[in-house]
Structure 1
Amino acid sequence: MTSLPIEFVSLHVLVDGKLPTLEIVKILSMGIGFPFLLLASTSPLLQSWFSSEGNARNPYLLYAMSNVGSFLALLSYPIIVEPVLHLSTQTLIWSISYGIFVVCLVVVCFMLFKATSLKESLLKEKGDNQATSSFVILMWFCLSALGVVILVSSTNAMTQNIPPMPFLWIAPLAVYLATYVLAFSDWKLYQRKIWLVLYVLAIFLGLFIYFIGGQFDIFTQIFIYLFVLLAATMICHGELSYLKPENKNPTLFYLILSLGGVFGSFLVSVVAQVSFTDFVEYPIALCFVFVMLGLSAIYKSDLVSKGRVSSSSTRTVSHYWLSISCFFAFLIFACTFIYMNTLYQQYDVIKQRNFYGVLSVKEVIDGNVRERRLVDGTTAHGGQSLVAATANTPLSYYRPSTGVERVLTELSKGQKLNVAIVGLGVGALAAYANDGDAYTFYELNPAVVKFADHYFSFIKDSKATVNITLGDARVNLQAEADSGQLNNFDVIVVDAFSGDQIPSHLLTQQAFLLYEKHLKNDGAIMLHISNRHLTLLPVVMAGADLLTKQVMFFSTSGGEIEHDAEWVLLSNNSELLNAHTLRNVGSRLRIENSKTIQWTDDYSSLFSILKVLN
């Protein structure tokens, strides 16, 4: 049962690597389910009370205002709240504020129910809702669901196809909320013909950005995705505004909108995930905007023909032509998408989609070398040459002369290594193993394990004994420590990417303490911090300070072909730190002369490590 202050149960349920969607719903339901349900239900409730008092103003203004509040909260959290307050403090403040809100709501409810006008209004609303046609209710449901599908699929497409940027997910949600505000305000900014013309342009751009987005710079891609989202959701929410009940009793309307939103999320999060191997729900949803607009126009023309809405015969014909044009546009764009998708998929070896995203194996020609790569969105997680002579030589961030290669090679001189690697990729680091070594990979995504085993040979050809532990690395390492199993690793390599960054829970102070438990006294921790947008070194320096480890930084230029690779070594092994092969390419960093930023399980902020701010 949920209580205040709110708390979340342990995430150990996710350790088996299976589809965690239902478990996440369970966790959220147990953690914030009832408070959130009560909070979400107050918007239509207050609007119903507002209209019951005989107020002449449009009650849907309150709906627009509630979305303005959501918009401001969305922007303020990463900029103001998260950098300043720890999670425990945030939870306490939210819980106290929620308690005050509930008390105020009860007081208002008590005062209003003393008025007979509210009781009469509620009875009237019940009768009005019964008179609403089934077709209109279905349109409410479908338009709401379609808007959410476009929002979620746009966010997925952006975060997968655009090189990952911090806070990228905020922009589409902000646009989505803004269209609700614009559509339900008194400004009358939704004009069907204008937005239809804009949408025809937008869907052309949407189809092309979906397939060849990599040909544009980052900000052009973001602009196009947001423009497409703006035009699509403006039509969905504008049509909802056209179809909303005019009797100022919006409870049923908002209930259907909520159900449609839930269903739209379900379609993307569950149905699309098990039905498609790519984010094709994005172009599919864009095409169906024409269908919903056409149906809405048919409904309007039907009202005119029955005399329920006064209009000229010219406008009636206009409604029918709009419907025909929308269905015709749907066929054109659907066929265009099918054709382009067939061309786009021809170079994929295999592609699979699961909870963690879309993972594909691609064969490309880089220069004169044919290469097979493991790609998550636009981020390569390693590759392998298909030329026999170089097949066992790791590429990209793990190639010879990078920091991780030099450390593993130096440590392996004269001894057998026990190595832990957080993040499997294609298993490239296993190529550096010698006879008698033991390599343990910790990997969250089961699709990565499958692809590394079937489509790359680094693991099969490794001289080491290789074990793969499926599930979140930190959860598994903690479970092993709790059971008394301390692995005594010679080196722990942290190379788990979520898009273009290491998941924050693997860089907290508690995570570093856990790594040390599983490390030999003279062992080493290697962290991969290559990143286009974040400066992760200050966070690593704080971990080194906590463990009182010495630090060596390696930066290897990739030139015009390879990636620049940045690795950090944490160790007190003087023989390793003074090795000639490391000193020639690595830089010793002194903690007292370096910037440090402490992340904990209770506090972390990306704002403090954004490169544009450092």
Structure 2
Amino acid sequence: MTLRLPAFLRGSSIGQDAKISSLPGQDLPPPRCKLETFRKTARLIRIGKIRYLPALFSVTLFLSAALMFSVQPMIGKMLLPIVGGAPSGWLVSVAFFQLALLAGYCAAHLLSRVSPLRQAVIYLGAVCAGSIFLPVTLAKSAAFMGAVPGPGDVLLLLTMTIGVPFMALSATSSTLQRLFAVAGDPASGNPYFLYVASNLGSFTGLLLYPLLIEPGLRLTTQSAWWLFAYLTLIVAIFLCLFSLRKIGEIRTSTTDEPVALGQRLKWVTLAFVPSSLMMGLTSYASTEVVSMPLLWVIPLGLYLLTFVVAFSDRKFISLDGLVRAQPVAVTLAILPIFIISPAAISRFQVFGFHAVVFTLVALMCHTLLARSRPASTDRDLTLFYLLLALGGALGGVFNAFIAPVILKSTTEYPAMLIASCLLNPAFRFRRSDILLLLVVGAFFAAGLAVKEFFVFFAVIVGAASALVVAASLLVGGPRAAVIGCGLITLAALQSITAKSVYEGRNFYGTLKVYNQDVALKTGRESIRILSNGTTIHGKQALAKGHEKDATSYYTKDGPLGEVFEALKPARVAAVGLGVGTIACYGTPETKITFLEINPQVRIVAEEYFTFLEKCGTGEKPEVILGDARLSLARQTDRKYDLIILDAFSSDSVPTHLLTREAITTYMDRLAKDGIVLFHISNRHFYLALPLLAAAETMELDSRFIDYMPPSPYADHSQWIAMAREKDVLPKLKHLPWHRLDVPDSTKFWTDDYDNLFRIMHL
């Protein structure tokens, strides 16, 4: 069966060989002659038996993919201030884009049942409709979100703003590949090189954003340029469709036998595990290091790169080598998660090591996908992409929405590493393994029943698993890796649970409360600690008579204590609640208000620590839930003598709280002789530079201190103090507060621009 285009689209045969004259003074040719000029040019381009088609389609798919994956970090950067800098905002946005990709592939699959010409017209209309929603802006559309936005709010916001254009872009790959497959080109029999071109475009878009686009352009300019590139893509798509039309007849493919259900489930599973691992690695980077596009795009870039390598005609690494190396890599990755102390190794090194392991595991899964790909028929081609997108979306949804609800800690990452061994072709499940599972289950049940049994359970399981892990490393068997790593994970989780007072997880992070003994001159004493990830966010002494002692970064002989002593503030706003240690500075003359975005932190501070209830001699501090910057902006009737910025997201500070516009908001809420105090302690970024650069441009007086405490209850900290009046900060004379010279090349941050890469130190 063939499809014929109407005569007015095919072009009339009248005047096809007429020459178009361009003599001076001659009237312009009629529109049909213009069409003939274009058609003659097209015929010249088609010299060489239409071999220009692969290049045209490859460039179009490359541009489409580059747009898809450059907009993702741009949207994530726009989203951070809206969700209070929560790292999970990026995870939810990645899950959204995976769902949108699935929707686009699903639409393309449904449209594959209609004629190629009709699918092309509908697809082009969808891409054009997407331009109505551009340029992209999130802040103006976020008015419906409450004070404490959740993942559902983020999903709705992204659907309203970028959903239509992104879903249209996501249909580009499968749609154009289907059209190319029936175009009659010699390369139509194997259009998977277009899939490689699409993934290379994705990888290029991801790299260009953190390396060139983000450092050089403001967000509004980025959005404008993205709109321009999107319109260019529409032109390229039209050229692709026009070229197919000029080739002549478009053929429909024959229908093969439907793909078996087992094969479909295998495609979904092989796509699910790498997607979940990618989200787990991203969660570690954005929580334990910092939420910034440079680190966001590395796991996603590696994820796409494994697709490029796996689907390439040139084999860079054999499947047999991947099958042998994967269980060893998984075993080496599981051990440091639970055994090595977080302080013993740089987080960048840990991230780099896990990135290598993730790449190897994802490459094995994607190579298995490439080996089982269908022939390039109409239905199977789009079905294959649809199921790949379904598996990827399920992995993203699991990590972004399901895991935070059903798991108290981030155990989904080691669980997926172990699950990848089950996908290893060399894995074989034996009947004897059932007995082992029953024994482990009995120990686990006993541990749940008797908490004191946890440690005993961990020791036994740990010793048994050590032998299995050794076998895994020596033999490289996936079965040994599954059993050994599973036992190690279970033993470690049991041991951790036995020591924990509280574990909780939500959109804003993973919190853990536990007790720990510390050695003092007077003997060993117990303290209670709150951690977010691997970063301590507060501690309280449990010894009688010391429950009200200010600890950690907030000791009374430290920088914060000196500011309170010198300023004697009547009203204080503390951005970030932690365990409520700052409440120790409350007096009948000093009222403290906490601003906290994470409801879980408030529950922990009130139920597992006593600073809010027992500290201070004044009234109980007020706790306001919501983004601190927005909350302060709404408090037009209040003036504070002291505003403390202590809003940590694990070990990083939300960048939207350090911009010039944010500082302006703080100054608007500050009394004439007040101080804004920034706690900027960070292991990876020198946050003093952009803050001090902003203070200079705003003609604010500023001081910096790097404080090394003598007290065992205190921690090393860095602070910056700012004030309008020049006679306020000189009152801080007991500790070594000093002015800090800022290089002329340092740029202050704005809501439209920040650059964490420039202030990074490893």
TM-score by length of 1: 0.86
Change (3 A) 1:427 1:189: same
Match of 1:95 in 2: 227
Match of 1:234 in 2: 363
> Is 1:426 matched up with 2:558?
no
Listed one character per residue, the Cα deviations across residues 538-560 of structure 1 (whole Å, up to 9, x for unaligned) are: 22223323443211222211469
Listed one character per residue, the Cα deviations across residues 433-457 of structure 1 (whole Å, up to 9, x for unaligned) are: 2123211111111111110111111
Q: Is the 8 A contact 2:284 2:351 kept in 1?
A: no
> RMSD across aligned C-alpha pairs, in angstroms?
2.6
Query: In 2, distance between residues paired with 1:374 and 1:450?
Result: 12
* Deviation, structure 1 residue 77: 1.3
Residue type of the alignment partner of 2:262: F
Q: Which moved more, 1:28-37 or 1:284-293?
A: 284-293
Change (3 A) 1:194 1:595: closer
Query: In 1, distance between residues paired with 2:743 and 2:151?
Result: 45
Change (3 A) 1:165 1:506: closer
Match of 1:320 in 2: none
SS where residue 678 of structure 2 aligns? strand
Change (3 A) 1:136 1:295: farther
Query: In 2, distance between residues paired with 1:590 and 1:21?
Result: 40
> Is 1:258 matched up with 2:389?
yes
> Is 1:537 matched up with 2:688?
yes
Q: Which moved more, 1:447-456 or 1:68-77?
A: 68-77
Of 194, 197, 206, 2:333 maps to 206
Match of 2:422 in 1: 291
Of 564, 587, 590, 1:437 maps to 590
Q: Is the 8 A contact 1:509 1:546 kept in 2?
A: no
Change (3 A) 1:164 1:399: farther
* Deviation, structure 1 residue 596: 4.8
Taking the TM superposition and a 5 Å limit, the aligned residue runs for 1:538-557 are 538-557=689-708
Taking the TM superposition and a 5 Å limit, the aligned residue runs for 1:4-15 are 4-8=134-138, 9-15=140-146
Q: Is the 8 A contact 1:477 1:514 kept in 2?
A: yes
SS where residue 281 of structure 2 aligns? helix
Match of 1:318 in 2: none
Query: In 2, distance between residues paired with 1:181 and 1:244?
Result: 14
Taking the TM superposition and a 5 Å limit, the aligned residue runs for 1:34-49 are 34-49=164-179
* Deviation, structure 1 residue 395: 1.7
> Is 1:120 matched up with 2:252?
yes
Match of 1:310 in 2: none
* Deviation, structure 1 residue 102: 1.1
* Deviation, structure 1 residue 506: 0.7
Match of 1:173 in 2: 300
* Deviation, structure 1 residue 12: 4.6
Of 499, 524, 527, 1:371 maps to 527
* Deviation, structure 1 residue 349: 0.9
* Deviation, structure 1 residue 135: 1.6
Query: In 2, distance between residues paired with 1:297 and 1:28?
Result: 43
Taking the TM superposition and a 5 Å limit, the aligned residue runs for 1:260-409 are 260-294=391-425, 330-367=482-519, 368-409=524-565
Q: Is the 8 A contact 1:529 1:536 kept in 2?
A: yes
SS where residue 133 of structure 2 aligns? coil
* Deviation, structure 1 residue 7: 2.0
SS where residue 624 of structure 2 aligns? strand
* Deviation, structure 1 residue 103: 2.0
Q: Is the 8 A contact 1:140 1:240 kept in 2?
A: yes
Residue type of the alignment partner of 1:531: N
Gaps of 5+ in 2: 1-129, 430-476
Listed one character per residue, the Cα deviations across residues 149-186 of structure 1 (whole Å, up to 9, x for unaligned) are: 111112224544x5558643333223212211111111
Q: Is the 8 A contact 1:165 1:533 kept in 2?
A: no
> Is 1:25 matched up with 2:175?
no
Change (3 A) 1:254 1:116: farther
Query: In 2, distance between residues paired with 1:375 and 1:26?
Result: 31
Query: In 2, distance between residues paired with 1:198 and 1:296?
Result: 13
* Deviation, structure 1 residue 194: 1.8
> Is 1:585 matched up with 2:735?
yes
Query: In 2, distance between residues paired with 1:335 and 1:553?
Result: 49
* Deviation, structure 1 residue 401: 2.7
> Is 1:63 matched up with 2:63?
no
Query: In 2, distance between residues paired with 1:46 and 1:443?
Result: 49
SS where residue 391 of structure 1 aligns? coil
Match of 2:650 in 1: 499
SS where residue 28 of structure 1 aligns? helix
Q: Is the 8 A contact 1:64 1:185 kept in 2?
A: yes
Match of 1:307 in 2: none
Change (3 A) 1:113 1:329: farther
Q: Is the 8 A contact 1:154 1:282 kept in 2?
A: yes
Change (3 A) 1:235 1:365: same
Q: Is the 8 A contact 1:291 1:330 kept in 2?
A: yes
* Deviation, structure 1 residue 571: 1.3
Residue type of the alignment partner of 2:628: A
Query: In 1, distance between residues paired with 2:586 and 2:686?
Result: 30
Listed one character per residue, the Cα deviations across residues 30-58 of structure 1 (whole Å, up to 9, x for unaligned) are: 11111111112112222223332343374
Aligned residues between the structures: 570
Q: Percent same amino acid among aligned pairs?
A: 31
Match of 1:217 in 2: 345
Q: Is the 8 A contact 1:434 1:463 kept in 2?
A: yes
Change (3 A) 1:280 1:369: same
Query: In 1, distance between residues paired with 2:198 and 2:340?
Result: 34
Change (3 A) 1:565 1:75: same
* Deviation, structure 1 residue 529: 1.3
Match of 2:262 in 1: 135
Match of 2:751 in 1: 601
Query: In 2, distance between residues paired with 1:295 and 1:16?
Result: 51
Query: In 2, distance between residues paired with 1:115 and 1:158?
Result: 49
Query: In 2, distance between residues paired with 1:592 and 1:607?
Result: 17
Query: In 1, distance between residues paired with 2:664 and 2:227?
Result: 31
Q: Is the 8 A contact 1:59 1:248 kept in 2?
A: no
Match of 1:508 in 2: 659
Query: In 1, distance between residues paired with 2:611 and 2:414?
Result: 37
Query: In 2, distance between residues paired with 1:343 and 1:570?
Result: 45
Of 211, 227, 246, 2:375 maps to 246
Q: Which moved more, 1:446-455 or 1:327-336?
A: 327-336
Q: Is the 8 A contact 2:707 2:717 kept in 1?
A: yes
* Deviation, structure 1 residue 26: 1.2
Residue type of the alignment partner of 1:174: G
Query: In 2, distance between residues paired with 1:247 and 1:295?
Result: 29
Query: In 2, distance between residues paired with 1:132 and 1:116?
Result: 31
Query: In 2, distance between residues paired with 1:163 and 1:40?
Result: 31
Query: In 2, distance between residues paired with 1:574 and 1:134?
Result: 74
* Deviation, structure 1 residue 595: 6.7
Q: Which moved more, 1:168-177 or 1:382-391?
A: 168-177
Query: In 2, distance between residues paired with 1:567 and 1:14?
Result: 33
Gaps of 5+ in 1: 299-324
